[in-house]
Structure 1
């Protein structure tokens, strides 16, 4: 999918500045380490940059820190999810705290969703069991 040059440049920069939860998750899922499923990090799609993206499953994985609890940010995230769903991309939002406190639960959820993604828009936020 096309991404503006500015989004591609920003994605390159973001790859060098991952948050701690993003680094932890990337370390575990990179190189097809999660059941052979390939993921990309900081992947530009249209005007947006996805934290992680599995093209095979058309699944975006967003690691949301506390800033995403802000009402304005939550509205932006909702608009973004609607746009991504319209492109045929399902969105899985994972709280950053879950990556830090319940990595095994996050990985189990991620593996299940990548292997059998729901239709886009069915669920845009999923709590990880045991968190």
Structure 2
């Protein structure tokens, strides 16, 4: 069960996407038009930038917001991989 504010956080992250996220979104849609990538998907306590549930694939765009959070990025990666995503 997700926290009550999760949908609002997801929506806010989508509305305020960074330029690299916007670029990746366009690139994914162009390169893989048949693939279903969701944007800013809640996975446990984290939000994945891009997620394909069918392919069990998560793509994270690590920019300036992740520059000083190596430890938390590693924890996020371990969690996502434990959930069966690459």
TM-score (norm 1): 0.59
| Residue-by-residue CA offset, 1:63-99 (whole Å, 9 max, x unaligned) | 01034232xx110010111111111111xxxxxxxxx
Q: Are residues 83 and 20 of structure 1, via their aligned partners in 2, closer, same or farther at CA, if it must alter by over 3 Å?
A: same
Deviation at 1:4, TM superposition (A): 2.4
Aligned match of 2:17: 18
Aligned match of 2:63: 65
Aligned match of 2:38: 40
Q: How far apart in 2 are the matches of 1:5 and 1:46?
A: 13
TM-score (norm 2): 0.86
- Which of 47, 71, 76 is matched with 1:75 structurally? 71
Deviation at 1:41, TM superposition (A): 0.4
Unmatched 5+ stretches in structure 1: 91-131
Unmatched 5+ stretches in structure 2: none
Aligned pair count? 86
Q: How far apart in 1 are the matches of 2:14 and 2:22?
A: 10
What value does the CA root-mean-square deviation take over the aligned residues? 1.8
